[in-house]
Amino acid sequence: MRKDPDVTGVVSVIGVTPINATPNAGRLAITLRSRDERQAPVNAVIERLQRAVAAVPGVVVFFRPVQDIQISTRLSRGQYQYTLTSTDANEVGDWATRLTQQLQKSEVLRDVASEAQDNGLGMDIQIDREMAGRLGVSMQTVIDTLSDAFGQRQISTIYGQANQYRVILEAEPEYQNDPGSLAKLYVPASGVQAVAQPTSLTSTSNAIMMIDFALEAERKQGLSPRESIVQASLLRFRPIMMTTLAALFGAVPRAFESDTGSELRNPLGITIIGGLYSASCSRSHLSRDGTREDAIEPPGAAADRAPEPSQHPAE
């Protein structure tokens, strides 16, 4: 096109953009010389360019002269538009095809085309929503994963000195036409926080119960804060260990499972087990820091103990 004597410049827009709905379409903006310098009018230049690109295989080109007054509602391939609307998409597509075929037979019209591009590959996918919910996979995650693989999503733009290069995320071409490629897609689960929450709630509950018991002992038994918290630790040791072990053993299957997606859940299970174990060891160590556990007796222990013999010397 740049070789045409009446053309001074050509700018191309290729790929998915607000102007191009699909990646296999592009738009060219052709700048002509002023009318005084041109050898032919616009229509003659268009005919000449059409003959030049007709020999390019696999490419269908539509030329449209730029007008000062636009009567169309959107960018189109033709100079004039005829719009069909309906509440049924299938009905619109059917009548759009019929109308296009009839207009193409007219001798007074040329370059008749339909904007309904519904001949692409399609697949109906059924999602097991109940299973996805149990695995912590949302529908938006499934949609985003499919769009990343087959939707030609633009994720970035590389700016050069003279050009802009749009970065498109998609699967390799050999996987785009094979339905079996869906079995190779993996979606991330969002269950990390949901599983880690019971562990934190268990630790928080244990701390609250120990503090509440210590405050009660301090008020009613007149114990010092140190004596009351040590006594609370002794009495709450068994129930705390029971809840801790229940949470720890509950995370064992998650730490050692080997099914689909296990590489995402194994670290979580190991973290839960390690966290509960280290927290239990630290709690047991701190309860013995500087205070003998047998120095503080649980309630009722003094009454159940036999009286000690008198230590006074015999007369």
Which residue in 111, 187, 174 sits closest to 142, CA to CA?
187
Mention every residue, 6+ apart, whose C-beta is less than 8 A from residue 100. 112, 113, 114
Question: Is the CB of residue 185 less than 8 Å from the CB of residue 146?
Answer: yes
CA distance 122 to 150: 11
C-beta atoms surrounding 98 within 10 Å: 10
Domain with CATH 3.30.2090.10 in the chain: 129-184
Query: Which CATH number is 129-184 given?
Result: 3.30.2090.10
C-beta atoms surrounding 81 within 10 Å: 12
Residues in the chain where the model's pLDDT stays below 70: 15-23, 68-75, 117-120, 190-206, 260-261, 282-315
pLDDT at 202 (0 to 100): 57
pLDDT at 291 (0 to 100): 43
Bridge pairing between strands 153-159 and 26-32: unpaired
Mention every residue, 6+ apart, whose C-beta is less than 8 A from residue 40. 6, 48
CA angle 266, 269, 271 (to 5 degrees): 110
pLDDT at 70 (0 to 100): 67
Which residue in 98, 75, 73 sits closest to 83, CA to CA?
73
Domain with CATH 1.20.1640.10 in the chain: 192-301
Pick the CATH number of 192-301 from 3.30.360.10, 1.20.1640.10, 1.10.10.60, 1.20.1260.60: 1.20.1640.10
Number of H helices, E strands in the chain: 11, 4
